[in-house]
Structure 1
Amino acid sequence: MERAWVERTLAGPESVEPDPVHPDRMRAFRTVPERDGRVLRVVYVPIPGGARVVTMFLDRGRRRKA
């Protein structure tokens, strides 16, 4: 996983939603052109001045925008 993809996703997500299991966590999603348009999911905890990343992966269940 490229660090730049994660940074880009956190800086400008296409969508953000709360994690249904862990209410302190958020999920950010963004299409990664370098991976044939697959969607990267970054799970993070918001902290003052930024975010603490919990995990990140290319989300098989999420579809890219048409």
Structure 2
Amino acid sequence: MKPLHFTLHTETVISERQLDRAWIELTVRDPEWAEADPSGPPTERRYRRVPEREERILRVICLETATEIRIITAFLDRKARMPR
């Protein structure tokens, strides 16, 4: 299992947005769905519902390399909808 690297920005938003690191880790390692980030590969968006936050969708932007997964940012995405 690749280690997760939380950037300084991510550490800041976890505190500001009252996010749980466990939610982020679960979203990265076991997303309900994922898509390429519009900024282009290799950045990816990974999504998962958070029951503790009224089923809101957590979006985690990450960059996966051969040796680690770098977490760029995370937030509860009001506009995200699970694809059909």
TM-score range, shorter chain: 0.7 to 0.9
Q: Name structure 1 gaps, 5 residues minimum.
A: none
Q: Compare the two structures and name the one with the higher helix fraction.
A: 2
Q: How does 1:49-64 map to 2 (within 5 A)?
A: 49-63=67-81
| Percent pairwise identity | 43
**Alignment RMSD:** 1.6
Aligned residues: 65
Equivalent residue in structure 2 for 1:41, among 39, 54, 59? 59
Distance 1:50 1:37 in 2: 28
Q: Compare the two structures and name the one with the higher strand fraction.
A: 1
Is the radius of gyration larger for structure 1 or structure 2?
A: 2
Larger relative contact order (Cα-Cα within 8 Å, sequence gap ≥ 6)? 2
Q: How does 1:1-66 map to 2 (within 5 A)?
A: 1-63=19-81
TM-score where L is the length of structure 2: 0.70
Aligned partner letter, 2:33: S
Range 29-38 or range 17-26, more displaced: 17-26
TM-score where L is the length of structure 1: 0.88
